[in-house]
Amino acid sequence: MDGTLLIERKENKTMISSKRHIINRKLKDLMTRMLIYVCTLFSVSLLIGIIAYVFVRGIGVINWSFLTSVTSVLDGTVGIAGNIVNTVLIVLITMIIATPIGVGSAIYLNEYAKKGRLVTIIEFATETLAGIPSIIFGLFGMMFFGEKLGLGYSLLTGSFTLILMVLPLITRNTQEALKTVPKMYRDGAIGLGSGKWHMIRTILIPCAMPGIITGVILAIGRIVGESAALLFTAGSAKHLPAGISGLLQKPFQSGGTLTIQMYLSATSEGNFDVAFGIAVVLLIIVLLINLMTKRLTKKFDVTRQSN
């Protein structure tokens, strides 16, 4: 009698403890799950918060004269037209030079090079370039293009610096795009008697176009948002170039981009209204670029699926 009671008690105990164990485990799982949700919510609300705050503070600053005039005490105007022109010029000069070099580099790596030491070194160099922070590019640009080559503070110095910075972006995206072109396209073209370069020019590049354009757009986004690499290379002038001849001379003169002007407005000039106005413009550009790359990647996927 006593013995069976003892056994029953023991069973009861283990049942209770295993029940407690299950409850504990469920609680632990629930808490883990909650923690994951909280972290995700934090990441998302961060973005929403940033966009909302910048728009609330800055949208009132933006009007036609803010976008089309230059800040001048004499005329009593506040505007960023000069910075917009500088940004466009830097983007144009940089991309006109960087795109062919980046695409060419990707073509060499993907189509011509045989696996070996040279390819390893080139890929190592590209990876290293991608990992160098922009302030180092800025220092190098200032020392080499600005002082050694005598370009001083100018849009050209800034652009040359940025070329090195965006090169890996274009090379990588082009490489990825080239890898997705099926091998039979290449074999087909060569089999029909096309030369290698002819095949690359007429088959591969058009097929890889969405990838190349994605790289170019991402690079433009990087340039528009860049500040540390430009502060000591392109300078901070904000006047508008006068007429066509002024525009032609502009690359050799100092000029601050939107981002640089935003930095100066928020720090040394202490003009936060202008800073938030520019921040809104920058955010809109970033949003547009993001949208465009999304579209392109989708299109890219469709062509891949149809193969």
Which range in 11-19, 39-47, 81-89, 181-189 contacts other proteins by CB under 8 A?
A: 39-47
Number of residues that bind other proteins (CB under 8 A): 84
According to CB under 8 A, which one of 83, 86, 171, 233 is a site residue for other proteins? 171
Which is closer to other proteins, CB of 241 or CB of 281? 281
Which is closer to other proteins, CB of 7 or CB of 121? 121
Asked if residue 32 binds other proteins (CB under 8 A), the reply is: yes
SS (H, E, C) the chain: CHHHHHHHHHHHHHHHHHHHHHHHHHHHHHHHHHHHHHHHHHHHHHHHHHHHHHHHHHHHHCCHHHHHCEEECCCCEEEEHHHHHHHHHHHHHHHHHHHHHHHHHHHHHHHHCCCCHHHHHHHHHHHHHHHCCHHHHHHHHHHHHHHHCCCCCCHHHHHHHHHHHHHHHHHHHHHHHHHHCCHHHHHHHHHCCCCHHHHHHHHHHHHHHHHHHHHHHHHHHHHHHCCCCCCCCCCCCCCCCCHHHHHHHHHHCCCCCHHHHHHHHHCCCCCHHHHHHHHHHHHHHHHHHHHHHHHHHHHHHHHHHHC
Which range in 2-10, 36-44, 60-68, 71-79 contacts other proteins by CB under 8 A?
A: 36-44
Residue 229-258 contact track with other proteins, rule CB under 8 A, x = bound: --xx--------------------------
According to CB under 8 A, which one of 84, 107, 177, 240 is a site residue for other proteins? 107
According to CB under 8 A, which one of 135, 242, 248, 284 is a site residue for other proteins? 135
Asked if residue 279 binds other proteins (CB under 8 A), the reply is: yes
Which range in 8-16, 78-86, 176-184, 267-275 contacts other proteins by CB under 8 A?
A: 267-275
- Window 138 to 167, contacts with other proteins (CB under 8 A): 139-140, 142-144, 164, 167
